[in-house]
Amino acid sequence: RKEVEQDPGPFNVPEGATVAFNCTYSNSASQSFFWYRQDCRKEPKLLMSVYSSGNEDGRFTAQLNRASQYISLLIRDSKLSDSATYLCVVNPPGTYKYIFGTGTRLKVLA
């Protein structure tokens, strides 16, 4: 099993739709989780950290489900500008490394 797994997509959704991505991780003791956004031919940029209690920033909500070992990202009222690849990142315990998922491609259609 991969350390971090994501559905690569693409997810094609109409403007205004709500879309959700999941990311599973293999190490149950992992403590730090993040969602990054990567635009085509650009570097990844932090979208949001994922806390045990969940995290909401405007149209974006991130949640952690420890029992099932996954994190989720919910995007409400999708905009054309949300089109990008969303990367799940996990910092496993006892290590300084950051493990990236393969990314989920989102395309918001007009």
Partner 1 sequence: SAVISQKPSRDICQRGTSLTIQCQVDSQVTMMFWYRQQPGQSLTLIATANQGSEATYESGFVIDKFPISRPNLTFSTLTVSNMSPEDSSIYLCSASAYSGNTIYFGEGSWLTVV
Question: Which residues contact partner 1 by CB under 8 A?
Answer: 31-32, 34, 42-46, 49, 87, 89, 91, 95-103
Q: Which is nearer to partner 1, 33 or 78 (CB)?
A: 33
Q: How far is CA 12 from CA 1, 5, 40, in A?
A: 27, 20, 16
Q: How far is the CB of 93 from partner 1 (least distance, A)?
A: 9
Residue among 93, 76, 105 at smallest CA distance from 26: 93
DSSP 37: E
Q: How far is the CB of 88 from partner 1 (least distance, A)?
A: 10
Q: How far is the CB of 44 from partner 1 (least distance, A)?
A: 5
Q: Which is nearer to partner 1, 19 or 48 (CB)?
A: 48
The residues, any chain, with a CB within 8 Å of residue 39's CB and separated by 6 or more, are 84, 85
